Amino acid sequence: MEAKTLFDKIWDSHVVDSVKNGPDILYIDQHFIHEVTSPQAFTGIEKRGVPLFRPQKTLATADHNIPTQNQELPIREKLSQIQVKTLTDNCEKHGVQLFGLGHPHNGIVHVIGAELGVTQPGMTIVCGDSHTSTHGAFGSIAFGIGTSEVEMVFASQCVLQPKPKKMRINIEGKLNKGVTSKDIILYIISQISASGATGYFVEYAGSAIRSLSMDARMTICNMSIEMGARGGMIAPDKVTFDYLKDREYAPKGADWDKAVEKWKALKTDEDAVFDREININAADIQPMITYGTNPGMGTFIDGKIPELEDIIPESRESFQKALNYMDFTPGMELAGHPVDYVFLGSCTNGRIEDIRAFTSLVKGRKKAENITAWIVPGSKQVEKQARDEGLLEILEEAGFQLRQPGCSACLAMNEDKIPSGKYAVSTSNRNFEGRQGPGSRTLLASPLTAAAAAVTGKITNPADLID
Amino acid sequence: MPIEKFNILESTCVPLPMQNIDTDQIIPARFLKATSREGFGENLFRDWRFDKNGNPKPDFALNRPGYSGKILVGGKNFGSGSSREHAAWAIYDYGFRVVVSSFFADIFKNNALNNGLLPVQVSEDFLKKIFTEVDKNPKITLKVDLENQEISLQSTGDTFHFEINAYKKSCLLNGYDDIDFLLSKKEKILAFEQLQNKT
Ligand code: SF4
């Protein structure tokens, strides 16, 4: 038999039919929806007069524009309120399970899918949100889709997709002090650029990847889209199975054993061929931070912003434009630059391990005077766990508060907006102009680096603060 | 819903010679709160187009009286970022029918095609030529011929053959819609589900 990649195995087993000279009809095992990209899709199928084909394969949550304070009260912002209400009505009408505001399972769509055990190896998963790639950490094919495609899934449980090319990124070796999975992915993107993987589906492999927890693997797959990739994935292994065991929606008893047997076969065959392979030495990676307005514009915290001459000529104008926006200059050192805001959260770094990492660094220290910090758990469950583990007390002791879960300042659709001109060290995934509020200046980094900034008030290499 | 048919379009264009025009610039998140598809054109490129007080910024291409037309020309890696289809809706709603760039982000390309907005990918050189020509004279026109997959600069006669997936091409030429197509495949989908349940 022909050697296949993990990606091929899952993709090929979900092709219902292929259009000649066109896309494949891909069957979708699990569909997630949220309030922002679903209303027009519901209206669409209603106008056509077709029902939801498989409502039990869609799961809904409200996350993008909900407030992170006083969630018990009615949403103040009118349009957000309408959008959340529309989602609730639509789910009721069409028989879709909804974990709405206040539900103990509520949270950011990509955080809850995993923690509930809905996301499982070998699945095809889509959601009207580009960071759906997060779920690939379990060895599934997961990717973001547009609203027209959400409507396709509603109507047929399928999407039309051309099969992407395949890339493998191997990271071998041991990670340096202070380096987390966020630094790995920021490093990769800085090496291959924000469009370097466009048209590809990426598999992450190698000993450094194997050594990571599920939470850390999700951070990596999450940001695959930031280098243009359709998605990212990691072959499931014991870490994956241990994480999933006994989760609410995971198979139980004999079904569990059967499932694990099947999942164990989900790996790339030894001599399978990729369209592109990249090898990275883990030892080359240091704690990272971005300085520009796309996630590819990143560097070591102890490094410098490139000089104009280091940038290829056709990109110089964009580079200069980004630095103007950030009020930075070429060749400048980043460490020591003052910071105004710190945001810990999002589907990239809003899981329990991220809060643990942040807490471990701020423990015994105090929040810097000049810092406003927003610590936003990714879900109700993460919030509860942070309390149960006593993290909340440590945070409060250091001068921080925990907010209620949601996407929050990751895209600033709710009230959590970084003011114009202010610098925010953010654990989210996009540093686009205005992403965190009009005029906001985002520096993407890991939870450890966010914590280091939160206690020192400036850009600081977390390796300097941990033993 | 059928999409608008597309065949040949000749029009002046609006140039945005910047790389990495991301979906957050095309339509900022705070304008994604509508529950219908219409009206997003009003906030297209909101923060580049208007200042804090809502006054148009005179320098931005969409606000310059010289520039108009149904073709938007952007720099490399157009439409990167989020999956928000609102970006394609906003461009379409504003009145554009074609976006030209030397490189498109995947999800944006799909979203555009699903809404009757044609993404035309040209070479870096051809893109440069367009920008140079429009800079000299904003009134020059581009002709986009979908059937023959050609885009030409009418002022110089330069022509570029662009690629498009054959299936998507026929959808656009005929105003054909993906969902109708999928609905016609119900039998196969049911058969697939049965097979999947067995294994
Ligand atoms: S946290 Fe940010 S990236 Fe993740 S789903 Fe929410 S808005 Fe999207």
A292 and A411 in a common domain? yes
Tell me the C-alpha distance between A116 and A43, whole Å. Answer: 29
Residue B31 — pLDDT band, cuts 50, 70, 90?
A: confident
Tell me the C-alpha distance between A412 and A374, whole Å. Answer: 12
pLDDT at site B60:
95
Tell me the C-alpha distance between A386 and A88, whole Å. Answer: 28
In a domain, A467, yes or no: no
Closest Cβ–Cβ partner in A144, A317, A413 for B83: A144
Average pLDDT of A397-425? 94
Average pLDDT of A427-432? 96
A456 and A340 in a common domain? yes
Tell whether ligand 1 has an atom less than 6 A from the beta carbon of residue A410: yes
Tell whether ligand 1 has an atom less than 6 A from the beta carbon of residue A36: no
* A335 contact B CB<8A: no
Share of chain A above pLDDT 90, in %: 94
Q: What average pLDDT is seen over chain B?
A: 93
A301-339: pLDDT as tens digits: 999 999 999 999 988 989 999 999 999 999 999 999 999
Tell me the C-alpha distance between A92 and A74, whole Å. Answer: 19
B112-141: pLDDT as tens digits: 999 999 999 999 999 999 999 999 999 999
Share of chain B above pLDDT 70, in %: 99
Tell me the C-alpha distance between A124 and A127, whole Å. Answer: 11
Residue in B30, B53, B125, B176 to test binding to A, most A beta-carbons within 10 Å: B30
Tell whether ligand 1 has an atom less than 6 A from the beta carbon of residue A183: no
Q: What average pLDDT is seen over chain A?
A: 96
Nearest residue on chain A to B197, judged by CA atoms? Answer: A29
Tell me the C-alpha distance between A430 and B177, whole Å. Answer: 33
Dihedral sign computed on CA atoms, order A81, B90, A142, A31: positive
Domain of A310 in residue numbering reads as 288-460
A71-123: pLDDT as tens digits: 988 888 888 899 999 999 999 999 999 999 999 999 999 999 999 999 999 99
Tell me the C-alpha distance between A317 and B147, whole Å. Answer: 36
pLDDT at site B83:
79
* 3-32 of A, contacting B, C-beta below 8 A: 16-17, 19-23, 25, 27
Inspect the interface and report whether the beta carbons of A430 and B81 lie closer than 8 Å.
yes
Instruction: Count Cβ atoms below 10 Å from residue A327 Cβ, excluding itself.
Output: 9
Inspect the interface and report whether the beta carbons of B83 and A27 lie closer than 8 Å.
no
Task: For residue A428, give the ligand 1 atom closest to its CA.
Answer: 2
Inspect the interface and report whether the beta carbons of A39 and B165 lie closer than 8 Å.
no
In a domain, A400, yes or no: yes
A342 and A226 in a common domain? no
Inspect the interface and report whether the beta carbons of A199 and B179 lie closer than 8 Å.
no
B81-119: pLDDT as tens digits: 887 899 999 999 999 999 999 999 988 999 999 999 999
Domain boundary among A247, A276, A305: A276
Nearest CA to ligand 1 atom 2: A410
**Cβ within 8 Å of residue A410, ≥6 positions away:** A343, A345, A346, A347, A348, A426, A428, A429, A430, A436
Tell whether ligand 1 has an atom less than 6 A from the beta carbon of residue A90: no
C-alpha triplet A207, A209, A213: angle, nearest 5°: 120
In a domain, A55, yes or no: yes
A112 and A231 in a common domain? yes
A210-253: pLDDT as tens digits: 999 999 999 999 999 999 999 999 999 999 999 999 999 999 99
A63 and A147 in a common domain? yes
Token code pair at residue A209: 């990847």
Tell whether ligand 1 has an atom less than 6 A from the beta carbon of residue A98: no
Inspect the interface and report whether the beta carbons of B83 and A195 lie closer than 8 Å.
no
pTM over 0.90: yes
Closest Cβ–Cβ partner in A164, A195, A412 for B80: A195
Inspect the interface and report whether the beta carbons of B182 and A156 lie closer than 8 Å.
yes
Nearest residue on chain B to A436, judged by CA atoms? Answer: B29
Task: For residue A429, give the ligand 1 atom closest to its CA.
Answer: 3
A163 and A306 in a common domain? no
Range with the lowest mean pLDDT among A193-207, A360-374, B148-162, B174-188?
Answer: B174-188
* A370 contact B CB<8A: no
Average pLDDT of A55-79? 92
| Candidate of A33, A346, A374 to mutate for ligand 1, largest count of ligand atoms within 8 Å of Cβ | A346
**Cβ within 8 Å of residue A390, ≥6 positions away:** none
CA-wise closest residue to B78 among B45, B97, B106: B106
Burial of B54 (0-12, 13-18, 19+ CB in 10 A): exposed
B57: left (phi over 0), alpha (psi -120 to 50) or beta: beta
Instruction: Count Cβ atoms below 10 Å from residue A249 Cβ, excluding itself.
Output: 15
Average pLDDT of A444-466? 98
A449 and A333 in a common domain? yes
Nearest CA to ligand 1 atom 4: A347
Chain A and chain B share a number of CB contacts under 8 A equal to 180
pLDDT at site B25:
92
Tell me the C-alpha distance between A209 and A224, whole Å. Answer: 14
In a domain, A281, yes or no: no
User: Ligand 1 center to residue A430 CA distance, Å?
Assistant: 9
Domain boundary among A276, A310, A337: A276
Token code pair at residue A186: 């920021």
A86 and A110 in a common domain? yes
Q: 3-class DSSP state for residue B118? A: strand
Share of chain B above pLDDT 90, in %: 79
Give, in order, the Cα–Cα distances in Å from A175 to each of A179, A208, A282, A287, A462: 6, 7, 5, 10, 14
Tell me the C-alpha distance between A326 and A324, whole Å. Answer: 5
Tell whether ligand 1 has an atom less than 6 A from the beta carbon of residue A64: yes
Q: Is the pLDDT of residue B52 over 90?
A: no
The amino acid occupying position A107 is G
Closest Cβ–Cβ partner in B25, B75, B166 for A22: B166
A348 and A292 in a common domain? yes
Range with the lowest mean pLDDT among A25-34, A74-83, A136-145, A342-351?
Answer: A74-83
Residue A413 — pLDDT band, cuts 50, 70, 90?
A: confident
CATH number at residue A175: 3.30.499.10
CA-wise closest residue to B77 among A155, A197, A131, A16: A197
In a domain, A282, yes or no: no
Go through A132-143 and write b for each residue having 16 or more CB atoms within 10 A of its CB, e for each that does not: bbbbbbbbbbbb
Number of domains observed in the structure of chain A = 2
* A63 contact B CB<8A: no
Tell whether ligand 1 has an atom less than 6 A from the beta carbon of residue A407: yes
Closest Cβ–Cβ partner in B35, B83, B182 for A145: B83
Nearest residue on chain A to B104, judged by CA atoms? Answer: A198
User: Ligand 1 center to residue A133 CA distance, Å?
Assistant: 11
Instruction: Count Cβ atoms below 10 Å from residue A27 Cβ, excluding itself.
Output: 22
CB A443 within 8 A of CB A424: yes
Tell whether ligand 1 has an atom less than 6 A from the beta carbon of residue A129: yes
Residue in B37, B89, B127, B178 to test binding to A, most A beta-carbons within 10 Å: B178
In a domain, A466, yes or no: no
The amino acid occupying position A169 is I
A73 and A104 in a common domain? yes
Domain boundary among A242, A276, A310: A276
In a domain, A334, yes or no: yes
Tell whether ligand 1 has an atom less than 6 A from the beta carbon of residue A108: yes
User: Ligand 1 center to residue A455 CA distance, Å?
Assistant: 26
Q: Is the pLDDT of residue B3 over 90?
A: no
Helices B166-174/B106-113 angle, 10° precision: 30
A396 and A321 in a common domain? yes
Q: Is the pLDDT of residue A340 over 70?
A: yes
**Assembly ipTM:** 0.91
Give, in order, the Cα–Cα distances in Å from A383 to each of A97, A110, A218, A339, A343: 22, 15, 18, 26, 16
In a domain, A243, yes or no: yes
* A152 contact B CB<8A: yes
Residue B1 — pLDDT band, cuts 50, 70, 90?
A: low
Task: For residue A411, give the ligand 1 atom closest to its CA.
Answer: 7
pLDDT at site A314:
83
A165 and A253 in a common domain? yes
Chain B residues in contact with A314 by the CB 8 A cut-off are: 19, 76, 124
Tell me the C-alpha distance between A55 and A40, whole Å. Answer: 17
CA-wise closest residue to A402 among A424, A384, A377: A377
